[in-house]
């Protein structure tokens, strides 16, 4: 039924905790789930550690296959996993996050109870930061799917499972997009007509936030890469005639400009706002308001509801 796909490139210490959380899964019936680990050129011993884990510690009910993908990037590794996955449903899990003991069982239960009417099932996740702060990211707030997907990142990697055919039908992961690639894929998934359902309940995944994350420790240290993801998503939405989605993507760009400004940048936010205004989709005054509110309060997405 379900294939768990985990790309791996180094992060040996964090990966050990991820694998330990997989070993601790409870209540999963044999034959329901398999796992594919895709090594993406690890050089710190992570690959060997995974091989030892498969041999010595992987749960008896969980068939695990390890693959090797030479092309750099998590997207290439995930696409490799999708290509060989056997299950109708897939989960994309990262090598620096952890599952609670009932995570896989709860996902299987959700597929069995909700899957007939859905192609994507999302859920809330907990987070743990390096400074010890903990909290919860809510996947859906209100019933506006596009507002949640575009502005709130509802379908970030750890927050959902989906039909394998839906990923393939959407074109798979864009291997040229380094940052916000899960967000960019989510626009194509929903844009292609994937039906979204939300599983309620206590979070069963913990996202570990750290400085070595692909997304970086701040917005400006990956300047240009998020803009590339937004441009790919915007072009897709334009081709499909999805006018409101194009507007939301433009306003998400204004939120990013506000984040740049909140980090003390000057040229980055101005350049981005000017570029967005040049598209002629959202008036300059709206873009400036959104960026300004995000800079001051970090609440640009909530403003969106009032002014779209």
- Mind listing the pLDDT tens digit for each residue in 38-57? 999 889 888 999 999 999 99
Partnered with residue 196 across adjacent β-strands are 120
Q: Which of 8-12, 13-17, 170-174 has the highest mean pLDDT?
A: 170-174
Three-state DSSP at 84 gives: helix
* Structural contact between residues 111 and 192, judged by C-beta atoms closer than 8 angstroms: no
Helix (H, G, I), strand (E, B) or coil at 205: strand
Residue 306 confidence (pLDDT): 55
Contact indicator for 111, 161 with CB cutoff of 8 Å: yes
Q: Per CATH, which fold does 2-208 belong to?
A: Spore Coat Polysaccharide Biosynthesis Protein SpsA; Chain A (3.90.550)
Let me know the angle formed at the C-alpha of 260 by 174 and 180, rounded to the nearest 5 degrees. 15
Question: 178 — alpha (psi -120 to 50), left (phi > 0) or beta?
Answer: alpha
How is residue 174 written in tokens?
Answer: 């864009």
| 14: Cβ contacts below 8 Å, ≥ 6 apart | 95, 96, 208, 210
Contact call for residues 246 and 234 (beta carbons, < 8 A): yes
pLDDT tens column, 184-233: 999 999 999 999 999 988 999 998 875 555 445 689 988 999 999 999 99
Q: Cβ contacts of residue 101 below 8 Å, gap of 6+? A: 21, 24, 25, 26
Across residues 142-154, what is the average pLDDT? 93
User: Quick one: pLDDT at residue 215?
Assistant: 47
63-113 tens-digit pLDDT = 999 999 999 999 999 999 999 998 899 999 988 888 999 999 999 999 999
Q: Is 207 helix (H, G, I), strand (E, B) or coil?
A: strand
Answer yes or no: is pLDDT of 32 > 90.
Answer: yes
- The candidate with the shortest Cα–Cα distance to 161, out of 118, 102, 128, 131, is 118
Reported pTM: 0.92
Is residue 255 a contact partner of residue 305, using CB atoms and an 8 Å limit?
no
Quote the pLDDT of residue 90: 98
Gap between the terminal Cα atoms of the chain: 40
What is the distance between the alpha carbons of residues 47 and 301, in angstroms, rounded to a whole number?
40
Tokens linked to 251:
């306003």
- With a pLDDT cut of 90, the percent of the chain lying above it is 76
Torsion angles phi and psi, residue 96, rounded to 5: -125, 20
Mean pLDDT of the chain: 91
Q: What is residue 211's predicted lDDT score, i.e. its pLDDT? A: 57
What is the SS3 assignment for 86?
coil
Instruction: Fill in the DSSP letter of residue 172.
Output: -
């Amino acid at each position: 039924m379900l294939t768990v796909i985990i790309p791996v490139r180094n992060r040996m210490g964090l990966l050990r905790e991820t694998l330990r959380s997989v070993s601790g899964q409870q209540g999963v019936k044999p034959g329901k789930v398999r796992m594919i680990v895709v090594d993406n050129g690890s050089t710190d011993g992570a690959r060997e550690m995974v091989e030892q884990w498969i041999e010595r510690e992987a749960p008896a009910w969980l068939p695990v296959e390890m693959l090797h993908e030479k092309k750099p990037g998590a997207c290439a590794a995930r696409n490799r996993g999708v290509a060989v996955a056997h299950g109708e449903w897939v989960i994309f899990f990262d090598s620096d996050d952890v599952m609670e003991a009932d995570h896989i069982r709860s996902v299987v239960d959700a597929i069995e109870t909700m899957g007939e009417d859905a192609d994507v099932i999302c859920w809330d996740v907990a987070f743990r930061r390096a400074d010890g702060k903990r909290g919860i990211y809510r996947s859906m707030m209100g019933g506006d799917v596009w507002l949640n997907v575009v502005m709130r990142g509802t379908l970030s990697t750890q927050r959902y499972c989906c039909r394998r055919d839906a990923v393939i039908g959407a074109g798979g992961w864009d291997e040229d997009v380094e940052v916000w690639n899960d967000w960019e894929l989510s626009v194509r998934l929903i844009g292609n007509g994937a039906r979204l359902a939300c599983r309620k309940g206590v979070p069963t995944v913990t996202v570990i936030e750290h400085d070595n994350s692909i997304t970086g420790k701040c917005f400006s240290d990956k300047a240009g890469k998020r803009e590339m993801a937004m441009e790919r998503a915007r072009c897709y939405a334009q081709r499909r005639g999805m006018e409101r989605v194009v507007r939301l993507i433009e306003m998400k760009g204004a939120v990013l400009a506000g984040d740049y400004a909140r980090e003390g940048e000057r040229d980055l936010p101005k350049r981005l706002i000017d570029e967005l205004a040049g598209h002629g989709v959202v008036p300059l005054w709206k873009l400036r308001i959104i960026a300004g509110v995000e800079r001051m309060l970090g609440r640009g997405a909530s403003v969106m509801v009032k002014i779209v």
